[in-house]
Structure 1
Amino acid sequence: MDQLPTKDQIRQWITDHPTQTAKRDIAKAFGIKGGALRIELKRLLKEMEGEGALTRTRRAFREAGTLPPVTILRVTGPDAAGDLFATPLEWEGEGDPPRILMRAAPSDALGAGDRVLARLTAVEGEDHAYDGRLIRKIGSNPLRILGVFRAGSEGGRIVPVDKGQDKEWTVGRDDTDGARDGELVEAEAASKRLGLPRARIVARLGDPTAPRAISLIAIHQHGIPDHFPDAVVAEADAAQPAPMGARTDLRDLPLVTIDPADARDHDDAVFAEADPDPANAGGHVVWVAIADVAHYVRPGSALDREARRRGNSTYFPDRVVPMLPDTLSGDLCSLHEGVDRPCLAVRMVLDADGNKLSHRFVRGMMRSAASLTYGQVQAAQDGTPDDRTAPMMARVIAPLYAASAAAMTARDRRQPLNLDLPERRIELTEEGKVSSVAFRERLDAHKLIEEFMILANVAAAEELIRLRRPLLFRVHEEPSPEKLDALREVAEASGFTLAKGQVLKTAHLNKLLSQAENTDFDELMNLTTLRSMTQAYYHPENFGHFGLALKNYAHFTSPIRRYSDLIVHRALISGHGWGDDGLSGFDTENLGDTAKMISDTERRSMLAERDTNDRYLAAWLSDRIGAEFTGRISGVQRFGLFVKLDETGADGLIPIRSLGHEFFHHDADAHALIGADSGRVLGVGQRVLVRLVEAAPITGGLMLELLEVEGDTLPRSPRRKGRFSPRKPAKMDRKRRVISRKR
């Protein structure tokens, strides 16, 4: 369209599309491009606003005398017939504000004076102008409680499942929602009565001990969205396979996916070959192809809004809460073997020493030559290929390992943080019960894929910096001085050194870790170094990645499960002019808010996954009460000691009250408890023998009893008559506070 729409056309568009009324939405609807026409559109909208035909709210317009589809209301109370009405909190039209009938469910519990956020639908032929449906109350966001309901004569009580919360809640007879004794429920805090905390049950979640209930507890406890709105599912179901169009044809490249055997999706594929360029003797060409999620998840769509809200997929031993519906994540966006799939791919050239010489991005169409597992690929490289991998050795697998060896050489020179912390794997039966707990095997095939993904992420960041396009960097800042001092103290107490007075580099930390390697303090130093690190996050500004020892880093390789990667894909699409599904105005204007949101959702998922693993481990150990386990003290607090068990990696608590009748001082600087009478030091890193006293699957808590420390039995004082707690001395000998933990 090479001319402006009429005022009537604009008014009709706003009436028909109440959620697409920003200036850019209007411009897009009428095909207005170019600076001159956009300036004229801005002038026309301002003129209509001056005439009173439109009302402007922030960046959007609406027809004068109307309300936006989502607005804040004040409930005015029921009429004589019992119908509940509301009025808009802000009204800019002429005359009285429109009358709004609240279509409230009994559970909404609305009353006169409540301020609510509501979704409005205009109605005709009624004595009110709109129907309103509650989204949420404003200024009334009650605390949510997840726990086990215990029935009583006057209602009951709720025992929280959070092991960090020991307060119980009372539930009135009319607030139980029919919950049965022992049932897992979700409740919200209500008003107090006689000083007792009260709650109202809002959802019944079933038997807390039933198989697969453990991850459900974490989902509700952490507020992870696990149900897709109808509009989101409808958009996903309507999606069709992407056409070839102007894409680069990569279907002849034998790209393969390499994933865990239980992988739920395949969003990256790789291929490598020797560089045919004689100027790069011994060099390699590496292709990394990533699912083109941006083609299906368009800016501003219902899919996009929901993906941004979720931020990422969350993985549990028995289920995944995906960022995208399965139609996309498990099918159209998944790089299945033998089918055409759209992708964004990067071709990287490495020299013989693994240095990246160049890269080139394309928007292409690929066809996976094979869906392989890490174990398959490693076995093939080790000399025992199966029927699937044997024909691929010379053309695919051997070149991948050759390129990987070069890349790992460059990695060793770069010296990223080299932590060695085994990852535990919880295996479940088909019924959802724990069958085994073991540590994941770390293969060269894992390292191969990991290093190629890092290279691709670096290339994406460098490309967008070159194109001067906004993006979300993956940021990891160096440890704070306080955390470094704490790490240094643990290192010195363990017999190692971490130099002072120099700019910290990952190489310094790697030197510390190498000192501890193959000693009794190996795991301790790895764990303590990890705890000294800051949390990585997303940000529109580039502050570098300390842990990877990289100046430029962005997430590009997992757009099926991370919204950050989708933003990077859109930035590449915009930067290269590959289509109209690149970064939107909203994406660019709200980049900081998006970074904060998805950093928060990532932390939420990490906590939920950790809590779920703790609960599964407690369930696994619950039939071994009284058994003895070896482990190492992993944390010290005023209230007790945390011990990481060797067999499972589970963490348990030794309460300070169980350490006999000697009083123990907490020395926070030394990360130790020190006996007031004996001078015995119980500190981080010491080997211990413990007895399992309690395992609570619902909370994930393990309670332990200390039996031995570094092979010595803990002496216990006889109980003093009339005393129920350890004696606290008036003053502690200063010398005892500096006793080495090596004693």
Structure 2
Amino acid sequence: MEGRDLSDPPSPDPVPTDTAPPAALPAAKGALPDRETLRRFIAGASGRVGKREIARAFGLGPEHKAALRDMLRALALEGTLVPAGARRFRASAAMPEAAVVQVTGTDPDGDPIARPVAWDGDGPPPVIFMHPEQKGRPALAPGERVVARLKRLGPGRYEGRTLRRLTDAPARIVGVFRSAPPDVPPPGDVPRRPAEAGRLIPADRRAKAEWIIPAGETLGAEDEDVVIAEPLPLAGPGLKPARIIERLGPMGDARSVSLLAIHTHGIPDAFSAEALAEAERARGVPAEGREDLREVPLITIDGADARDFDDAVYAEPDGDGFRLIVAIADVAHYVRPGSALDREAQRRGNSVYFPDRVVPMLPEALSNGWCSLRPGEDRGCLFAELHIDAHGAKTRHRFGRGIMRSAARLTYDEAQAAIDGAQETGLPDGLIGTLFAAFRALAAARARRGTLDLDVPERTVRLDPQGRIVTIDPRPRFDSHRLIEEFMVLANVAAAEELERRRRPCLYRVHAPPSPERAGAMRDSLSVMGFALPPAGALQARDLGRVLAQAAGGDSATLVSETILRAQSQAEYSPDNIGHFGLALPAYAHFTSPIRRYADLMVHRTLIGLGTLPPDGMPAGDAARLAEIGEQVSATERRAVLAERETTERYVALWLAERIGMEFYGHVTGVARFGAFVTLTRTGATGLVPVSTLPDDVWTHDDTTQTLRGRHGGMRLSLGQPVTIRLVEATPVTGGLLFALVDPDMGADRVADRARTGAARRGRTRGMHRR
């Protein structure tokens, strides 16, 4: 097997059967429907719809197959439909027939109300009215998550029936304990309530009510401790009681912040003993049967705080172009299908990164050991050999299984300093220069392709060894970052093309264009800022790139990027390829990070299966359930992104909590009838300026121009407007911030007083700053 390049002829895979129940039949049959008729048919169906149901409903024959496929692909590309499993679709604004929902409260009759855990539609998530549980089963409690079968009742309203509970019953509540003030005896004959030790403030912004912690149920928790509690039984109106069952640490300790997200979102943070044992038994890979790349000076380039290195790069001149190698840790060698490690990795879906810790997809013995491409150590790898011309266009590629030895580990700063001539690396002459020359060719090809290159600043939270916040600053972005991105994109494209060409199962990374509703809202917002977009149905990534280029360097650059970002559909994993809108690519997969993404491991297994024998390749059972795996890892990715974002917001609120009353610069990033959202320039934190804190006037919200205007005084708040604000309130448990404008015509004390008064009147406005 020496030098095997994974290019043996493939055998065709069985096509999974489509077993979804047919949707209601339309009136007309026997002819291919037009796009609008097809869209209405799918939107009116009770669940997912595939080509079989459409053909049966319209009486289509084999002669219509190609045209129907092209029509479905076009509707998916324009965002009208979204993939919903193996070769199935649903309307972009519709919920699937079954989904994970979380109970948020009860209706006036006491029946539970829920909302979808993952919502990528336009506007607020729909309300789901859950059926009461069967006799003998405990009622659904706030915070509990279930898989529910959904039936549409009307716009934004669904009926739900529990299929399976995902959280323990009773549900757990994560939040901060606030101890009660000293007990004051009630006057006269007023009956005394049960002794109350304090309240639990939920960390979930969607939770509308606090919980009472009775005396004797605190587990010794102190004021401002982060805790986990379980509901106690109590019927009737008013706040519900709960019992603290675990203490996670004081809220003032920055290291407790990530624990809030881990437990709120149910992120698995402990490996099974069997998985740990398998990881500890791991050893180095043998060189036999692998292509020997140990003399190739492959290098890793990562962040200074990176602990695992799963990708390495190399470039050399090749005629007028370049020969590139992207080598990736051979995780599939260690994580075999069906093993305890495989079960744990699939359950996690991906690693989750917080400022103070990483919750890895694989145990440290692998993620920071045998699957980390450490300098000077032999490691197994899968590699992509990629040839590009002088203009950055890929001319050919091949994949292989090899053994490598990293020549160096560089940080992004060091790589940038090396190309700028400010630092020596000790690497072979010309290697860094060739890498950057190849990057410039790839970047030129990307520009010609017209991709969506959003430059929304990321915030970096830096902690000292004691866990205290040192700084919160925008993350720098160099050409060295872009170099790695371009090399990884090229390898990912090659992986998708190889599997598509060989007709092998592939878990594509797909990204639909903005839905018509989101595209319209984005077009209106950008128009207010002076930027024009083409009409609906004609939008391409290059059009958004043109707007970003026009805004670059101006005061509105960040706001334009944020506006475009909010309009985007969420990228996901699917065996049905609809292309990647943002990257302007017809086929794209994730190949380059199997240490931290299960989807990449699935792509590795399929590639390995082209040239080696099992057990490394993808089993037929996994290939048959690829759509299910794609949905699951897409959900865990959304969970990780949400947990990481909420954690950053809580860190920022914790840092700002010590700066109440200070003034900051920012710009208006959103307006609504109840106030304006302002994003701070330095930290990127977003908070609410309630309309009640503005000067006395009749305030009107114009949705068309995205402005909040005082009818008599003439004061106006509009998108992108620079403002100076005073911080009035910071709530670390939810990450919520409350601001007041610094107005020269209003005393600062009056502004702050009015802000606090308005906050109290609305129940402290918890969660209102969400974008």
Question: Is 2:311 aligned against 1:268?
Answer: yes
Equivalent residue, structure 2, for 1:42: none
Equivalent residue, structure 2, for 1:150: 178
Select the structure with the greater relative contact order (CA < 8 A; seq sep ≥ 6). Answer: 2
Equivalent residue, structure 1, for 2:154: none
Equivalent residue, structure 2, for 1:284: 322
Instruction: Please identify, of 569-578 and 346-355, the stretch whose mean Cα deviation from structure 2 is larger.
Output: 569-578
Question: Is 2:380 aligned against 1:338?
Answer: no
CA contact (8 A) 1:618 1:700 kept: yes
Equivalences for 1:118-197 in 2 at 5 Å? Answer: 141-151=169-179, 153-173=195-215, 175-196=217-238, 197=240
CA 1:457/1:203 → structure 2, altered by over 3 Å: closer, same or farther? same
Equivalences for 1:443-522 in 2 at 5 Å? Answer: 443-500=478-535, 503-522=538-557
CA 1:725/1:307 → structure 2, altered by over 3 Å: closer, same or farther? closer
CA contact (8 A) 1:380 1:390 kept: no
CA contact (8 A) 1:273 1:284 kept: yes
Match of 1:629, SS state, is strand
Deviations 1:83-103 (A, max 9, x none): xxxxxxxxxxxxxxxxxxxxx
> Structure 2-normalised TM-score?
0.72
Deviations 1:143-191 (A, max 9, x none): 3311222345344321223345451111334543443443221113343
Match for residue 369 of structure 1 among 400, 407, 424? 407
Q: Report deviation, 1:676.
A: 4.3
Match for residue 723 of structure 2 among 656, 672, 688? 688
Question: Is 2:391 aligned against 1:353?
Answer: yes
Amino acid corresponding to residue 144 of structure 1 in structure 2: R
Instruction: Give the Cα–Cα distance (whole angstroms) in 2 for the partners of residues 393 and 616 of structure 1.
Output: 44
Q: Report deviation, 1:140.
A: 6.6
CA 1:725/1:272 → structure 2, altered by over 3 Å: closer, same or farther? closer
Equivalent residue, structure 2, for 1:523: 558
Instruction: Please identify, of 408-417 and 265-274, the stretch whose mean Cα deviation from structure 2 is larger.
Output: 408-417
Instruction: Please identify, of 298-307 and 173-182, the stretch whose mean Cα deviation from structure 2 is larger.
Output: 173-182
Question: Is 2:472 aligned against 1:434?
Answer: no
Instruction: Give the Cα–Cα distance (whole angstroms) in 2 for the partners of residues 415 and 568 of structure 1.
Output: 26
Question: Is 2:407 aligned against 1:407?
Answer: no
Equivalences for 1:192-341 in 2 at 5 Å? Answer: 192-196=234-238, 197-275=240-318, 281-341=319-379
CA contact (8 A) 2:311 2:592 kept: yes
Deviations 1:290-329 (A, max 9, x none): 0000111111111111111111001111111100000000
Match of 1:426, SS state, is strand
Match for residue 666 of structure 2 among 611, 631, 635? 631
Match for residue 620 of structure 2 among 574, 578, 585? 585
Deviations 1:681-701 (A, max 9, x none): 323221111111122223222
Instruction: Give the Cα–Cα distance (whole angstroms) in 1 for the partners of residues 594 and 296 of structure 2.
Output: 22
Amino acid corresponding to residue 157 of structure 1 in structure 2: R
Deviations 1:46-102 (A, max 9, x none): xxxxxxxxxxxxxxxxxxxxxxxxxxxxxxxxxxxxxxxxxxxxxxxxxxxxxxxxx
Instruction: Please identify, of 524-533 and 142-151, the stretch whose mean Cα deviation from structure 2 is larger.
Output: 142-151
CA contact (8 A) 1:291 1:335 kept: yes
Q: Report deviation, 1:508.
A: 1.0
Q: Report deviation, 1:114.
A: 6.3
Instruction: Give the Cα–Cα distance (whole angstroms) in 2 for the partners of residues 215 and 139 of structure 1.
Output: 20
Instruction: Give the Cα–Cα distance (whole angstroms) in 1 for the partners of residues 496 and 470 of structure 2.
Output: 42
Instruction: Please identify, of 243-252 and 659-668, the stretch whose mean Cα deviation from structure 2 is larger.
Output: 659-668
Q: Report deviation, 1:486.
A: 1.5
CA contact (8 A) 1:706 1:714 kept: no
Q: Report deviation, 1:664.
A: 2.4
Q: Report deviation, 1:618.
A: 1.6
Deviations 1:524-547 (A, max 9, x none): 111111111111111111010000
Instruction: Give the Cα–Cα distance (whole angstroms) in 2 for the partners of residues 265 and 714 of structure 1.
Output: 53
Match of 2:350, SS state, is coil
Instruction: Give the Cα–Cα distance (whole angstroms) in 1 for the partners of residues 639 and 482 of structure 2.
Output: 27
Deviations 1:403-439 (A, max 9, x none): 1122112111111112222222121111111111222
Deviations 1:188-231 (A, max 9, x none): 33433441322232322222212411111111111111111211
Instruction: Give the Cα–Cα distance (whole angstroms) in 2 for the partners of residues 502 and 398 of structure 1.
Output: 42
Match of 1:569, SS state, is helix
Instruction: Give the Cα–Cα distance (whole angstroms) in 2 for the partners of residues 487 and 335 of structure 1.
Output: 43
CA 1:173/1:256 → structure 2, altered by over 3 Å: closer, same or farther? same
CA contact (8 A) 2:693 2:758 kept: no
Q: Report deviation, 1:600.
A: 0.9
CA 1:694/1:428 → structure 2, altered by over 3 Å: closer, same or farther? same
CA 1:434/1:725 → structure 2, altered by over 3 Å: closer, same or farther? closer
Instruction: Give the Cα–Cα distance (whole angstroms) in 2 for the partners of residues 220 and 538 of structure 1.
Output: 25
Instruction: Give the Cα–Cα distance (whole angstroms) in 2 for the partners of residues 725 and 439 of structure 1.
Output: 32
Structure of greater Rg = 1
C-alpha RMSD over aligned residues: 2.6
Amino acid corresponding to residue 570 of structure 1 in structure 2: R
Instruction: Give the Cα–Cα distance (whole angstroms) in 2 for the partners of residues 410 and 499 of structure 1.
Output: 23
Equivalent residue, structure 2, for 1:72: none
CA contact (8 A) 1:380 1:393 kept: no
Instruction: Give the Cα–Cα distance (whole angstroms) in 2 for the partners of residues 297 and 655 of structure 1.
Output: 52
Instruction: Give the Cα–Cα distance (whole angstroms) in 2 for the partners of residues 189 and 294 of structure 1.
Output: 43
Amino acid corresponding to residue 199 of structure 2 in structure 1: R
Match of 2:390, SS state, is coil
CA 1:139/1:526 → structure 2, altered by over 3 Å: closer, same or farther? closer
Deviations 1:672-725 (A, max 9, x none): 3333444543232211111111222232222110124xxx86799x99xxxx98
Amino acid corresponding to residue 237 of structure 2 in structure 1: G
Match for residue 613 of structure 1 among 645, 648, 652? 648
Equivalent residue, structure 1, for 2:420: 382
Match of 1:312, SS state, is coil
Instruction: Give the Cα–Cα distance (whole angstroms) in 2 for the partners of residues 248 and 725 of structure 1.
Output: 68
Deviations 1:371-403 (A, max 9, x none): 1111111111111223xx144342x21211121
Amino acid corresponding to residue 418 of structure 1 in structure 2: D
Q: Report deviation, 1:240.
A: 1.7
Match of 1:286, SS state, is strand
CA contact (8 A) 1:209 1:698 kept: no
Q: Report deviation, 1:613.
A: 0.8
Instruction: Give the Cα–Cα distance (whole angstroms) in 2 for the partners of residues 511 and 137 of structure 1.
Output: 47
Q: Report deviation, 1:138.
A: 8.7
Instruction: Give the Cα–Cα distance (whole angstroms) in 1 for the partners of residues 738 and 207 of structure 2.
Output: 16
Instruction: Give the Cα–Cα distance (whole angstroms) in 2 for the partners of residues 385 and 150 of structure 1.
Output: 53
Instruction: Give the Cα–Cα distance (whole angstroms) in 1 for the partners of residues 166 and 606 of structure 2.
Output: 36
Instruction: Give the Cα–Cα distance (whole angstroms) in 2 for the partners of residues 233 and 372 of structure 1.
Output: 30
Between the aligned residues of both structures, percent identity stands at 50
Deviations 1:594-634 (A, max 9, x none): 11111111111111111111111122222222111111111
Match for residue 661 of structure 1 among 696, 709, 714? 696
CA 1:337/1:347 → structure 2, altered by over 3 Å: closer, same or farther? same
Q: Give the aligned length.
A: 581
